[in-house]
Amino acid sequence: MRSNTLSRFIPALIVVITIALITPVIAASPFWLDNSVLVAIFSLLALSVGMAYGQAGILSIAPAAFGAIGAYATAIVTARYGMSPLLGLVLALLLPTLLAYPMARAITRLSPLPLSIATILLSIVLEMAIREGGDFTGGYIGISGIPTLWFADSLFSMHILSWALVAGVIILYANLTVSATGRAVKTAKHDPLRATADGINVPALLAVYFALSSSVAGLAGWLYAHHLTYMGPDSLTMHVSIRIVLMAVIGGASTMLGPVLGAAFLTLITLYLPAAETQGMIFGAVLILVLLVAPNGALGTNWAKLFSKGRGRTAAKTANGKNVTGGAT
Amino acid sequence: MFEFIEYLTRGALVGVTYGLLAFPVSLLFSTTGSVDVALGAYAVLAAAVLYVIGGPLGVIVAIGVAVFASILVGLISLRLNRPGHIDHIIAVLGTFGLATFIESFILTVFGTNPMIRQPFSTFWDIGGIRVSPQMGINVVVCLAILSALFIVLQKTPFGRAMRASAVNPVGAALNGIPVKQIWFATYVLGGFLAGVAGVLILYTTGADYSTAFNLTIWGFGAAIIFGMHGPLRGFAGGLVIGIVQALSAGYLPGGWATAIPFIFIFVILSLGRMNQIAATGGRV
């Protein structure tokens, strides 16, 4: 694998260039700027799934729950107590981590399967807690009047800020992935026994990685709250989580850009979908279809290999051989 | 004290259906190493179908629909999780997709109304506790099904093949046991049991479209409390979950009453009952 410093910046660079190209086109349209910010927020959430599921193999059904913690943290601090959104940002990054680490530590002793069940539990309990939170969380009514960010108070500056955060997270994430920690996580995902033999404390490592991924979701929640200026119990639910998981899987959960691509694709396609209650059917069916056809997602699949498979074994073999040599150089 | 006993009885009676849901969880987990998150969705689907059609025909159609849904999941999982190419998380994700699909389907076709039927207007009086005769039916049905399954698992060649593929899939395949077909049968059996549970739930506590994931969690929790080794443990686990629900509903204020059973399962999870597969490094 090439790991020179420059290649780590390529995914973030692609994002920056794409946004630079798109911005002049949509700068005049509030509708598209608004959607662009939403795509950026969901990209962050999907990146958090990519980190947990794509890299560490922990399927989390709670990215929206961690996002909701971040969003409520900043909403309560800014709208209730009139404090700085920067304090909200610190809380949004910190609280999900503080919740995710002990949770993962208690459960992922080795198997990620129980942890994904635990994330469902977390989603359900958190939704309940928000509804029952009374004045503190706004209960069923939610919290409205969350102030916009004073350093990004227009839609355009919000668009720039949110994509800058996406690019920043991708740079850090790419760095983490090629670091010793990132490699250890990959080994732990594919073969925990081997990783343990190599001297890695697998449960601790996976818990740290899970906690990091949850703080990315918290960051997204912070943006979400300040963008929409409203946060309610129906804002970031388990159904949103499932959609986020779908985004990551469609784009390619183990890649840097896959979650961003998936988020853009699904957010834009949702604009043209029918009523909310039938969306679940479409998302569910698409999820199954993607898993059946290309479980590694659009960017994680070797499409040449996939198509050459149909033409016969020899074609698949050569494609495979090419891939191996290509990967070694 | 009387109140306590009443909650205990009611909880145990409701928990019987969770025991029915627990069985497919433990069976599937020990046979394929995976979890079918859509179990609760089959149950709600069966309840919804029976709510609309009604009568004995409705019961048959309801269970049939649940079995059909589980056949779909079985096919999908077989494709995702071939022996030799095993990724449990992907299989779980697939069942998630189907659960979402079914939930949304129920919401679209049957709406948001809670679905419940009360077939009995007279109640039994057991030591001062009013109990619907339906509870008696639930207990009898569950015990009958579980004993039948117990006999099938322990005494028939099919049961032996199933247990063999659970203990050692490679060894079982080498001995000529069609492991893939056994896996598929496990999924379908799960759908059947979830369908029966759905029918009983419609006549007992009722269900609505959003109950699906909760039911999966109750079944799952019931399965892990005493370990995933047999149907009787899951049944006992179901009783415990039902009792925890009834007690927290009886003694705790609104919000806590619904949250405590979930937190209880979370604690059970973190006690590590399910991590026993860890000894093999996460491999089956």
- pLDDT of amino acid A216: 95
Give dist(CA B201, CA B203) in Å, integer.
5
Touching B: A residues 143-202, CB under 8 Å: 191-193, 196
Angstrom CA distances, A322 to A314, A326, A327, stand at 12, 6, 8
Contact status, residue B223 vs residue B215, Cβ threshold 8 Å: no
- Contact A300/B at CB under 8 A: no
Give dist(CA B94, CA B71) in Å, integer.
13
- Distance between start and end Cα atoms, chain B: 47
The answer to whether A284 contacts B35, with C-beta atoms less than 8 Å apart, is no
pLDDT band at A94 (very low <50, low <70, confident <90, very high): very high
Contact status, residue A218 vs residue A64, Cβ threshold 8 Å: no
- Contact A131/B at CB under 8 A: yes
Give dist(CA B124, CA B130) in Å, integer.
6
The answer to whether A118 contacts B90, with C-beta atoms less than 8 Å apart, is no
Residues of B within 8 A of A192 (CB-CB) are 281-282
Residues of A within 8 A of B104 (CB-CB) are 277-281, 283-284
- pLDDT of amino acid A310: 52
- What the block records as the tokens of B61 is 């159609």
- Contact A129/B at CB under 8 A: yes
pLDDT in tens, B89-110: 788 888 888 888 998 888 888 8
pLDDT band at B272 (very low <50, low <70, confident <90, very high): low
Give the whole-number percent of chain B exceeding pLDDT 70. 92
From the number of C-beta atoms within 10 Å of its C-beta (0-12, 13-18, 19+), residue A232 rates as buried
Give dist(CA A104, CA A56) in Å, integer.
12
Among chain A residues, the shortest Cα distance to B105 is held by A281
pLDDT tops 90 at residue A173: yes
- What the block records as the tokens of A62 is 């709670």
pLDDT tops 70 at residue A214: yes
Give dist(CA B142, CA A9) in Å, integer.
59
What are phi and psi for residue B176, nearest 5 degrees? 85, 15
pLDDT band at B284 (very low <50, low <70, confident <90, very high): very low
Which phi-psi region, left, alpha or beta, contains residue A57 (left: φ > 0; alpha: ψ -120 to 50)? left
pLDDT tops 70 at residue A313: no
- pLDDT of amino acid B274: 57
pLDDT band at B68 (very low <50, low <70, confident <90, very high): very high
Q: CA nearest A143: which of A131, A161, A159, A151?
A: A131
- Contact A53/B at CB under 8 A: yes
Mean pLDDT across B250-278: 75
pLDDT band at B54 (very low <50, low <70, confident <90, very high): confident
Q: Which of A199-208, B61-70, B115-124 has the highest mean pLDDT?
A: B61-70
Contacts of B269 (CB under 8 A, 6+ apart): A106, A107, A114, A117, A118, A121, B224
The answer to whether A291 contacts B97, with C-beta atoms less than 8 Å apart, is yes
Rounded mean pLDDT of chain B? 82
- pLDDT of amino acid A122: 87
- pLDDT of amino acid B164: 84
> What number is the ipTM of this complex?
0.83
- Contact A295/B at CB under 8 A: yes
Of A69-73, A223-227, A321-325, B251-255, the poorest mean pLDDT is in: A321-325
pLDDT tops 60 at residue B33: yes
Mean pLDDT across B133-141: 85
Q: What is the DSSP string of B126-176?
A: ETTEEE-HHHHHHHHHHHHHHHHHHHHHHHSHHHHHHHHHHH-HHHHHHTT
Task: Compute and round to an integer the Cα radius of gyration of chain A.
Answer: 20
Contacts of A289 (CB under 8 A, 6+ apart): none
Higher-scoring residue by pLDDT: A104, A223 = A223
User: Which of A49, A60, A121, A190 is most worth mutating to test chain B (most B CB atoms within 10 A of its CB)?
Assistant: A121
Residue with tokens 């003694």: B251
The type of residue at A276 is: A
pLDDT band at B279 (very low <50, low <70, confident <90, very high): very low
Among chain A residues, the shortest Cα distance to B272 is held by A107
Rounded mean pLDDT of chain A? 83
pLDDT in tens, A315-328: 444 444 333 333 33
- Contact A86/B at CB under 8 A: no
Q: CA nearest B62: which of B216, B222, B241, B207?
A: B207
Higher-scoring residue by pLDDT: A203, B129 = A203
Contacts of A161 (CB under 8 A, 6+ apart): A149, A151, A152, A223
Give the whole-number percent of chain A exceeding pLDDT 90. 30
pLDDT tops 90 at residue B116: no
Residues of B within 8 A of A117 (CB-CB) are 35, 217, 220, 269
- pLDDT of amino acid B282: 38
CB burial readout B14-39, b (16+ within 10 A) else e: bbbbbbbbbbbbbbbbbbbbbbbbbb
- Contact A102/B at CB under 8 A: no
Among chain B residues, the shortest Cα distance to A57 is held by B89
The answer to whether B213 contacts A120, with C-beta atoms less than 8 Å apart, is yes
- pLDDT of amino acid A324: 37
Nearest 5°: the CA angle A60, A64, A70 is 115
- pLDDT of amino acid A261: 93
Mean pLDDT across B156-179: 84
pLDDT band at A312 (very low <50, low <70, confident <90, very high): very low
- pLDDT of amino acid A137: 80
pLDDT tops 50 at residue A223: yes
- Contact A27/B at CB under 8 A: no
- pLDDT of amino acid A170: 94
Give the whole-number percent of chain B exceeding pLDDT 90. 10
Which phi-psi region, left, alpha or beta, contains residue B118 (left: φ > 0; alpha: ψ -120 to 50)? beta
Give dist(CA A242, CA A284) in Å, integer.
9
Contacts of A242 (CB under 8 A, 6+ apart): A61, A283, A287, B96, B100
pLDDT tops 90 at residue A42: yes
> What is the three-class DSSP state of B115?
strand
Contact status, residue B100 vs residue A283, Cβ threshold 8 Å: yes
- pLDDT of amino acid B110: 84
Mean pLDDT across A192-216: 88
Give dist(CA B102, CA B92) in Å, integer.
15
Higher-scoring residue by pLDDT: B240, B163 = B240
Residues of A within 8 A of B97 (CB-CB) are 246, 283-288, 291
pLDDT tops 70 at residue A4: no
